[in-house]
Amino acid sequence: MPLHAQRHPVVEVHAPAPAMAMLEGPVVTARDMLAGSRIRELLAAGFPAQFHFQVELWSQGRWTNDIERRAEYDVKVRYIPLDKVYEVVQMTDGRALSLGRFARVEDAEAAIARPTRAPVTARRISRRQYYQVTLDVEVLSLRDLDEVDRWLRGEIEPAFNGNAGTVVTRGLKTLVARVLGGEKREYEAHTEPFQLP
């Protein structure tokens, strides 16, 4: 019986053709983001996964590179035990777009991987430009621990508004998240530099 190749999460960014670069942004793809048993176990246990994408257009200078434009969006995945489905939602500028509800985790993973065109167009400048994508993945966040803490105390709403904890409290919660095995990963990708005609 042949061994299956181990899948590893990969983020990719592809710049548009130079003739279209001032009209449309790059295409971002994040494949195999739910690969690995640990992240799937946390999802099945009811902890949502958040994928925070930051897409930036940079220009190359003689001594330094400068950021020209930026866009951000999130993809959130959660398992709904009652319905036995994974729900995938994309959040952009405070607006939610459902990417679907799926019975299989592989189908939820495919929804995360769907190519997304980021609204970051290139500028007509004399410098060479490139796109960079940073993807932060988090399961079992500090906010999740705050909600578990409030639930254990029987609270529906936070006890007070404002800063929810001190540096010490946050540090302890970070330690607990690591002990519990929360996932936090970061991925980066960039295009080759290009020059607009």
Quick: pLDDT tens for 70-123: 999 999 999 999 999 999 999 998 899 999 999 999 999 999 999 999 999 999
Give this prediction's pTM: 0.77
Please write the tens of the pLDDT for every residue from 91-103: 998 899 999 999 9
Q: What is the mean pLDDT of residues 150-169?
A: 45
Q: Which two tokens stand for residue 156?
A: 């529906």
